[in-house]
Amino acid sequence: MTLALSLLDAGIADVNIYESAPRVEELGVGINVLPHAVRELSELGLLDDVSGVGISTDGWLLYSKHGQQIWSEPRGLAAGYRWPQLSIHRGQLLGVLHRAVRDRLGREHVHTGHHLVRFGQGTSGVWGECMERRSGASLGHIEADLLVGCDGVHSVVRRAQYPDEGPPKWNGITMWRGVTEAASLLSGRTMITAGYFGRHIVVYPISKAYENQGRALLNWNTNVKTADDQPMSPQDWDHTARLEDAIAPFASYVFDFLDVPALIRGAKVIYQYPMVDRDPLPTWNFGRVTLLGDAAHPMYPIGANGASQAIIDARVLAHELALQQSVEAAVAAYDAERRPATAAVVWANRGLGPLEVLQIVEHRAPNGFTNLDDIISSQELQRIATTYKGTAGFDAELLNNRPSLSVPR
């Protein structure tokens, strides 16, 4: 959806979206859109719409498994960015983007129920064939100048280019996700992470509507390293889980600012998903075919970067298509810019990214601490936070001052 809006904004209106699902449904739970991606949504004229549903996150606090504070940093506008960090329901974000696509491009450009099954290319164009997934009925032949595989972690387009790659890689961590209505947490706009890697919870509010009523809709995501002999849970975003399994690892996480078992118990439905990613690829440049978002660079949801990096991909690709002499040159330029940048985030997330501090504290002070300074210095804390922001492309100064990706017309 963001790619379609970006192309239109760059003067390319002959765009069609082929979506496997029979309807565009507002699925999922919470997601974070970091300031570098909010800037792009803002330049597409969507800031008011996304800010109207999500929460402008103002800080991130890290706690040990004993609920002792390890780190706090301002986020978004509070950290000096010109754009907020938005914590938002994934479905509502999709809803904003989908409505904009329908209004600006036209609903006839969104072809739901079209599952891409095969494609090929010649010197002057690409072709694709879609089917209706449930019936298996063929939906005919499509021709275009460029095919962009934005088809997620199980991408058909990626598999056709890398047939031997196999399934996504699991790091042994299972994630449980849910949303719970609650009293507002700390500042009401705070994101918190507590525990240590492999036994940690991330919590943040995601709903402006709840905030307006003095309440909070808290998105939570628990992460547990399961025993090595346990099988991976299904890689299906809609796979639901049992309450007891989700609560058990966090029974002791009862803090004065947050009762984790009560939070989990309050969710109407709990989803389960394995933490998976894939190795960075040697190229996304296949002439008139390329990849974008999770199809190109699925990454662990550490540092909240998956959706943000997909949005930036879309803006860069549209920018290059508008400015380069040919489709092939644009794809090559997009690949050269975005592939190394996103590979760095995939690797950083495998190295725990900003969560490294939790690991250090758990390792050095498993029974808690009296003075944090005795366990980890403020310089070490600062170094870890700053390094990750640079890698993921959301250093405030660089972001605030870099030129726009909008194409002057």
Ligand X SMILES: Cc1cc2nc3c(=O)[nH]c(=O)nc-3n(C[C@H](O)[C@H](O)[C@H](O)COP(=O)(O)OP(=O)(O)OC[C@H]3O[C@@H](n4cnc5c(N)ncnc54)[C@H](O)[C@@H]3O)c2cc1C
Cβ at position 326, least distance to ligand X in Å = 25
Looking at 38, 126, 150, 330, which residue binds ligand X (CB under 6 A)?
A: 150
Under the binding rule (CB under 6 A), the answer on residue 156 touching ligand X is yes
374: three-class secondary structure by DSSP:
helix
Nearer to ligand X, 19 or 356 (CB): 19
Looking at 88, 258, 307, 375, which residue binds ligand X (CB under 6 A)?
A: 307
Containing H/E element for 383?
helix 378-392
Cβ at position 123, least distance to ligand X in Å = 25
Which of 12-20, 63-71, 160-168, 262-270 is the region at the interface with ligand X (rule: CB under 6 A)? 12-20
Please list, in sequence order, all residues whose beta carbon lies within 8 angstroms of the beta carbon of residue 323, skipping any fewer than 6 positions away: 330, 407
Under the binding rule (CB under 6 A), the answer on residue 152 touching ligand X is yes
- Report the residue closest to ligand X, judged by CB: 293
The residues in 15-44 that bind ligand X, with binding defined as CB under 6 A, are 18-21, 27-29, 31
Q: Cα 403–354–233 angle (5° rounding)?
A: 110
- Residues 181 and 191: their CA atoms lie apart, in Å, by 15
237: three-class secondary structure by DSSP:
coil
Q: Which residue has the tokens 């990849």?
A: 291
Q: Which residue has the tokens 């549209």?
A: 318
Under the binding rule (CB under 6 A), the answer on residue 127 touching ligand X is no
Nearer to ligand X, 276 or 361 (CB): 276
The residues in 64-103 that bind ligand X, with binding defined as CB under 6 A, are 90
Nearer to ligand X, 78 or 156 (CB): 156
Binding mask 39-68 for ligand X (x = CB under 6 A): ------------------------------
- Residues 46 and 54: their CA atoms lie apart, in Å, by 12
Q: Cα 239–236–282 angle (5° rounding)?
A: 155
The residues in 220-239 that bind ligand X, with binding defined as CB under 6 A, are 237
Under the binding rule (CB under 6 A), the answer on residue 206 touching ligand X is no
Under the binding rule (CB under 6 A), the answer on residue 168 touching ligand X is no
Enter the tokens of residue 68.
Answer: 């002792």
Cα dihedral across residues 88, 89, 95, 101: positive or negative: positive
The residues in 367-386 that bind ligand X, with binding defined as CB under 6 A, are none
Under the binding rule (CB under 6 A), the answer on residue 160 touching ligand X is no
Looking at 310, 375, 376, 392, which residue binds ligand X (CB under 6 A)?
A: 310
- Contact 223/349 with Cβ under 8 angstroms? no
- Residues 74 and 190: their CA atoms lie apart, in Å, by 9
- Contact 109/15 with Cβ under 8 angstroms? yes
- DSSP code at position 388: H
Could you list the residues that contact ligand X (CB under 6 A)?
A: 18-21, 27-29, 31, 90, 115-116, 150-152, 156, 177, 237, 293-295, 301, 306-307, 310
